[in-house]
Structure 1
Amino acid sequence: MQLLKHFKELTVRLKNVEELKGLILQLALQGKLTANWREENPDIEPASELLNRIQKEKEELIREKKLKKEKLLPEISINETSYKLPNTWHWCRLQNIIKISSGKGLTSANMDKSGKVPVYGGNGITGYHNIGNVIKPTIVIGRVGFYCGSIHLTEKNAWVTDNAFITYYSEDNISRDFLLLLLSGTNLKEDENATAQPVISGRKVYPIVVSLPPLEEQKEIVNVVETLFKEVEQLEQLTVKRITLKEDFVTSALNQLTTNNANQEWTFLQEHFKSFFNETTNIKKLRETVLQLAVQGKLTADWRANNPEVEDASILLKRIQEEKVQLIKEKKIKKEKALPKITNEEIPYKLPDGWVWCRFYEIANIASNLVQPEGYLDYPHIAPNVIEKNNGILLPFKTIREDKVISYKHLFKPGHILYSKIRPNLNKLVKVDFEGLCSADMYPIDSYIFQDYLFLFMLSKEFLRQSVKNDTRVAMPKINQTELNKVIISIPPLEEQKAIVQKVNALMGLCDALEQEIQQSQAHSEQLMQSCLREVFEGERKMEEV
C-alpha cells in the first residue's frame, strides 16, 4: 500500500499533513487498515447482524411511541457503492444507524455568562451557560452556514443550539468513536445548493450510503486511526521543529556573513548548501544576503587582491560630477539642490579601500518627464502592479490604449530603472530596455554608474532600510525625490561594479537551481500523494515510477 510505504516521506511537507489524515481516514472506512485484524479474528459477528438488532430496537421504540416511523428509503443500488467491502461489512444508509434532531435555540444575549456549561453551535463551543440540554458526551453535526456538516463531540453536560443537530444511535451496536470517524469522513453536504445558504437536514443526510463494519472491528479501526494520527502529528511536530531550527541557523549564519569574516563563513555554508537551503524561505534569505554582501564588497575581496591597480571610485565620482555640470549647462538635466555631506552616523558599514560613499543624486538622476497619454496610445504602460516586489521581475503588461490611461504619465527610455515611490517597503523596481510610459507614482532613473550595480544596490536590504526609515505616512507610504536623493550608496570602482554584478548573477543562478530542486521535491511529494489518492478512491494500483 503506497500510503504506508511512503508514510514518513509524505509528512515531510506540512501541506500534506491534513491530506494524509484524510487518506488514513478513507482507508480505515474502507477496511484497508484492518485486513490483518480480520485474518486474526475470523469469527466476528458480521455487521448485518448489528443492523438487524438496530432495526428491531427502532421498531420497539416506534411501538412505544418514543420514535416516529421513518419514511422508507429505496434499497441501495450498485451505482451508489464505490468500492468492494470486506465480507463481514455491510452497506447501509445513515438512516439505518442514526437519528438527528435540532438543538435548542440560545442566543448569546440569553446565555448565563457566569455558567460553566459549554454551548455548542455548528463549529464547536460558542459560549457558556448555566444549564445544558444533553447529559452525556454527544455527537453534534453543524446544521447551517459555513460549518454545516462539521462534526464535534460535546462534553458530558452541554447545551446544543439549533445551529447543530444532536445525533442519536444504538450505543450497544455502534462505537461512538467509530461513528465520529464515519461522520467526519463522510461528505454530509454533498448535494447542497452552492448558490444558497448551506444547510443540511435529515432529508439530505439520511439517504447517504456508508459502509458499516462489525462492532469489534469498529473499535479496532478507532485504535488504528488514533495511532496513525498521532504518528502524523509527531512527524508534523518534528517537521516544524526541523524547519524552525534550520531557519534559525540559516538566519544566524547569513547574519554572520554580513558582519564577520565572509570568506570563512561562506566556505562553511557552501559545504552544507543542500542541507540548509532546501526551504523556499531560506533561499529568499540567501538572495537577500548575497545582495547585502555584494554592496559591502564582501563578494569581491579576491577580485580586489588580483586587481590592485584599479582606478579609485572617488576618481569615478569626480568624473561623474564633471559630466553632470556639462549636462546642466546643456539643459539636459536640472541642477539639484545640494544636500548635506554624509556624516559618520549615517554610515552603516565600513567600505573596502577604493570604495566611497555618496548620495543617490550624485550618481543618478530622477528623469521626470510627464506627458499626456494621447500621443502614446500603443506604448507599453508600466505601473507598480506589474512589477514583483523585491526581485525586479517585470510581469505581463498592457499598452496605454488597452489600460485606457487618461492621466499624465512619465515617458521613460531604454536603460532607465523604473522605481515605485508608493509603498517603498515593497521595493518594486525594474530595468527596461524599451520606451514607454510609467505611472506618475514611479520614478524613471538615469544611472551614471554601471546600471546593473545601481539596480542590485536598490534591491538590497540596505537601500530598503534607508528608503523606509523616514516615512511616517501610515495610509499611503511614499518616498519623495528629496528622501530618495538623500539615500547613501556604497560605490566601488567601475570595473569592480562589473565584477560584483557578474558574481551576483552567478550566485542568483545557484539560488534558481536550488529553488528548482525544491520544486522538484515538492512535485515528487505531490505525485506520491496523488498516487495514494488514486489508490484510495480507485482501488489498489501500482504506483508509477516518479
Structure 2
Amino acid sequence: MKNLITDHLDIWTAAQTPKANSGRGRGSNANGHSLHGIKKLRELILELAVRGKLVPQDPNDEPASELLKKIGQEKARLIKNGKIKKQNPLPKITEDEKPQKIPSGWNVTRLGEVLNVLNGRAYKNHEMLQEGTPLLRVGNLFTSDIWYYSDLALEPEKYIDNGDLIYAWSASFGPFIWQGGKVIYHYHIWKLDLFDESCLYKNFLYHYLAAVTEKIKASGSGIAMIHMTKARMEKLVIMVPPLAEQHRIVTKVDELMALCDRLEQEQSQSIETHQTLVKTLLAALTTAGDAKACAQTWQQIADHFEILFTTEQSIDHLKQTILQLAVMGKLVPQDPNDEPASVLLEKIDKEKARLIKAGKIKNQTPLPKITEDEKPFDLPEGWEWVRFNQLIEPNIPISYGVLVPGPDVENGVPFVRIGDLDLINPPKLPEKSIDKEIDRQYERTRLLGGEILMGVVGSIGKLGVAPDSWRGANIARAICRIAPTRLILKQYLIWLLQTDLMQSGFIGATRTLAQPTLNVGLIRAAATPLPPLAEQHRIVAKVDKLMALCDTLKERLHQAQTIQTQLSDAIVGQALA
C-alpha cells in the first residue's frame, strides 16, 4: 500500500478540484481547492481496510465468530443486570446483504448486535443557555464554533466524555472519537456504546464507520436535510475481523493517514510559497518606477511564466495586475499626439452645460477637486484624475432601484436582482417580475439596455451589463445603475470597475447594516484615472487580448486538473478491483 502512495505521488498531489464549502477538516489548501487526489487516497486506505485488503490475515488469530459469541454473551449479561434495555430482535442477515467476499477469519453482523445506539436529547430554544454543561451539536463537529450550554441534570447516558464513539446522522454525517471533555450531546448525534470493548476495538469501528459513511448517508431520507434513523443504523451490516487484526488495521491506517497528512502539509506549503512568489513579482510590476524597470520585471516573469502561472489563483492575480497596469498607464505606450484627457473633460463639461441651459437637467453643486492625498499613484502625461461622477451621462444619474418590490407578479415588469448580474452570460430576462404600479414609482431606474449595473448591497462591486433584452426592466435596491457618458469608451469603464483600485475602495467604504451597503454618493466621489480617448481604445484592445490569453491558460489548467483527477480515480478503482 505504501508503494501505491509513493509510486504515484505526482498524481495524488496534482489532482485538485474546486472546494465546495468552507468547512473544517482535511483535504483543502490555501488555493481554495480540494486536494482530490489525497482525498481519494484516504478513501482508498479506509476501503481496503474494511475489505480486509490492507493487512494480511493471520490463521493463528482467534476468528471473529468467537468474538461475536462473547459480545452476545456480554450483551445478555447487561440486559439481565438491567444495564441496558432488551430490544426487539434484529432480522437475520440475508445472502443478498452479505459482502461477496468475506476475508478468512472475519464474520458479518448487524451493528445493533455489537453496540447500543443511544439517542441524544432535543432542546428547546429556552433550554439552550450561555453557561452550564456544554451542549454538543452537529455543527460543532464540522464548522461551527458557536456553543450553547445546559443546566439540566440528565441520566448518565445523555453525556459523552473523552474516548466515547459518537456518530453525526443529520445533514452532516460521520463518526468521531470525542476528545472534548464531558458534554451533553444533541438529538442529531448518537452515542455508540460498545457492549464488549475487549472483543471489538473502538478505533477500528471508528475507521469502519468512516469508510461506509457515504453508504450510510445514501440510505438516509429527506430532501432539504438528509437524516438517518436509529432503526436503520442498528440494521447496518458490518464485517468484523479478528481482534488482533483489528489492531493491525488501525496501526496501518494511522500510519498511512499520517503520510497523507504530510503530503497535504507539503503541498499546502508549496502552494503558499508559490502564491507569495507570484504576488511579489506581480506587485513589482505595478510599483516599478519607470518603463525600463517595468520591462525588466516583466522579463523576469516571462522567463518563468510556465512555472509561475500554474494555479487558478495565480492566473487571477495576473488578470488583476493587467487591469492595474492598464489604469496606471503602464500597459500600452502613450502617444503625445493623443488629445489629452483634459480636453475630453472640457467636452463633457460643455455637454453638461448644454443640458442645463436646455432645462434637461438641474445645475448641481460640483464635487470637490481631487486632493493630492486622494491620488494613490502618479498618472502619465495626458491623463487626469477625476471624480467618477464626471464620467456619467448627466441626464442618467447613478441611482439604486426599487426599495420594496413586493411579490413576483405574472406578466409584470422584469425585475433585475443581484443574482442576475453577469458580465459574460446574463439571462435573457430576469426570473422575477414586479407589479407595474411599483415600477411606475421608480421610472428613474427603468433600464434602456447597455447600462453598467453594480451591486451596492451584499455582493458589493459585483458587475453586469444590461442586455438589450432587459430594456424596460427595473432594478433592485441592491443594484446601482451606471450610464457612462457617450464621450468616453464604456468598456474602459467596465475594466476599470473590476480593478482592485475601485473594488477595494468600494468595499472599504461600505457600512454594515443587515448586509454590507455602499452609499451611491461614495461611488460618485471615487477618484478615477482617465486616459485620453484614443488611449482608452488601445487599453481596451490590449486588455481584451490579454484576458483572452488568461482564459485560455485557465481552460488548459482545468483540463490538466481533470486528467489528474481521472488518473487518481482510475488508480483507486484498479486497487479496489
Given the two structures, how large is their TM-score scaled by the length of structure 1? 0.77
Distance, in Å, in 1 between the alignment partners of 2:168 and 2:339 is 77
70-79 vs 509-518, greater mean Cα deviation:
70-79
Distance, in Å, in 1 between the alignment partners of 2:345 and 2:530 is 9
Q: Which residue of 2 aligns with 1:225?
A: 253
CA positional deviation for 1:232: 1.4
Q: Deviations over 1:477-507 (max 9, x none)?
A: 2433x54443332222222211111111112
212-221 vs 168-177, greater mean Cα deviation:
168-177
Unaligned runs of 5+ in 1: 541-546
Counterpart of 1:227 in 2: which secondary structure? helix
Distance, in Å, in 2 between the alignment partners of 1:488 and 1:145 is 51
2:483 pairs with 1:445:
yes
Aligned length: 517
Is the contact made by 1:140 and 1:152 (CA closer than 8 Å) also made in structure 2? yes
Q: Deviations over 1:304-356 (max 9, x none)?
A: 3xx44333333333344444444544555554433333322222211112222
Change (3 A) 1:182 1:169: farther
Q: Which residue of 2 aligns with 1:355?
A: 383
Counterpart of 1:298 in 2: which secondary structure? coil
Q: Deviations over 1:236-257 (max 9, x none)?
A: 2222222222223333333222
Letter in structure 2 aligned against 1:461: D
| Equivalent runs, 1:453-492 vs 2, <5 Å | 453-467=492-506, 474=513, 477-480=517-520, 483-492=522-531
Unaligned runs of 5+ in 2: 17-27, 29-33, 142-146, 406-410
Q: Which residue of 2 aligns with 1:344?
A: 372
Q: Which residue of 2 aligns with 1:275?
A: 307
Counterpart of 1:79 in 2: which secondary structure? coil
Q: Which residue of 2 aligns with 1:264?
A: 296
Is the contact made by 1:297 and 1:352 (CA closer than 8 Å) also made in structure 2? yes
Q: Which residue of 2 aligns with 1:245?
A: 273
Counterpart of 2:101 in 1: which secondary structure? coil
Is the contact made by 1:61 and 1:67 (CA closer than 8 Å) also made in structure 2? yes
Identify which of 44, 53, 68 aligns with 1:32.
53
Is the contact made by 1:356 and 1:492 (CA closer than 8 Å) also made in structure 2? yes
Letter in structure 2 aligned against 1:486: A
Identify which of 506, 509, 531 aligns with 2:548.
509
Distance, in Å, in 2 between the alignment partners of 1:147 and 1:328 is 62
Q: Which residue of 2 aligns with 1:365?
A: 393
Change (3 A) 1:87 1:248: same
Counterpart of 1:489 in 2: which secondary structure? strand
62-71 vs 266-275, greater mean Cα deviation:
62-71
CA positional deviation for 1:293: 0.9
2:182 pairs with 1:180:
no
Q: Which residue of 2 aligns with 1:140?
A: 165
Is the contact made by 1:45 and 1:88 (CA closer than 8 Å) also made in structure 2? yes
Counterpart of 2:105 in 1: which secondary structure? coil
Distance, in Å, in 2 between the alignment partners of 1:386 and 1:472 is 23
Letter in structure 1 aligned against 2:475: S
CA positional deviation for 1:420: 5.0
Whichever of the two has the greater Rg, that structure is 1
Is the contact made by 2:44 and 2:572 (CA closer than 8 Å) also made in structure 1? yes
CA positional deviation for 1:229: 0.9
Change (3 A) 1:459 1:336: farther
Q: Which residue of 2 aligns with 1:79?
A: 96
Q: Deviations over 1:213-253 (max 9, x none)?
A: 22222222112111111111112222222222222333333
Q: Which residue of 1 aligns with 2:566?
A: 527
Counterpart of 2:96 in 1: which secondary structure? helix
Distance, in Å, in 1 between the alignment partners of 2:322 and 2:364 is 33
Q: Which residue of 1 aligns with 2:109?
A: 92
Distance, in Å, in 2 between the alignment partners of 1:231 and 1:72 is 43
Identity of aligned residues (%): 29
Letter in structure 1 aligned against 2:93: I
323-332 vs 291-300, greater mean Cα deviation:
323-332
Q: Which residue of 1 aligns with 2:344?
A: 316
2:173 pairs with 1:168:
no
2:43 pairs with 1:22:
yes
Distance, in Å, in 1 between the alignment partners of 2:375 and 2:353 is 27
Change (3 A) 1:30 1:458: same
Q: Which residue of 2 aligns with 1:417?
A: 452
Q: Deviations over 1:263-294 (max 9, x none)?
A: 22222223333433333333333222221110
Is the contact made by 1:100 and 1:165 (CA closer than 8 Å) also made in structure 2? yes
Given the two structures, how large is their TM-score scaled by the length of structure 2? 0.73
Q: Deviations over 1:129-152 (max 9, x none)?
A: 999889997543348866787442
CA positional deviation for 1:512: 1.0
Letter in structure 1 aligned against 2:463: K
2:326 pairs with 1:294:
yes
Change (3 A) 1:420 1:189: closer
Change (3 A) 1:53 1:508: same
Distance, in Å, in 1 between the alignment partners of 2:459 and 2:481 is 12
Q: Deviations over 1:95-153 (max 9, x none)?
A: 4433456799999889987xxxx998877799899998899975433488667874425
| Equivalent runs, 1:526-545 vs 2, <5 Å | 526-528=565-567, 530-531=569-570, 540=577
Counterpart of 1:309 in 2: which secondary structure? coil
Change (3 A) 1:250 1:400: closer
Counterpart of 1:165 in 2: which secondary structure? strand
Distance, in Å, in 2 between the alignment partners of 1:26 and 1:59 is 32
Q: Which residue of 1 aligns with 2:535?
A: 496
Change (3 A) 1:219 1:197: closer
Change (3 A) 1:337 1:54: closer
Counterpart of 1:338 in 2: which secondary structure? coil
Q: Which residue of 2 aligns with 1:9?
A: 11
Is the contact made by 2:392 and 2:484 (CA closer than 8 Å) also made in structure 1? yes
Distance, in Å, in 2 between the alignment partners of 1:378 and 1:64 is 72
Q: Which residue of 2 aligns with 1:396?
A: 427
Is the contact made by 1:387 and 1:430 (CA closer than 8 Å) also made in structure 2? yes
Q: Which residue of 2 aligns with 1:385?
A: 419
Distance, in Å, in 2 between the alignment partners of 1:166 and 1:103 is 11
Identify which of 437, 459, 463 aligns with 1:428.
463
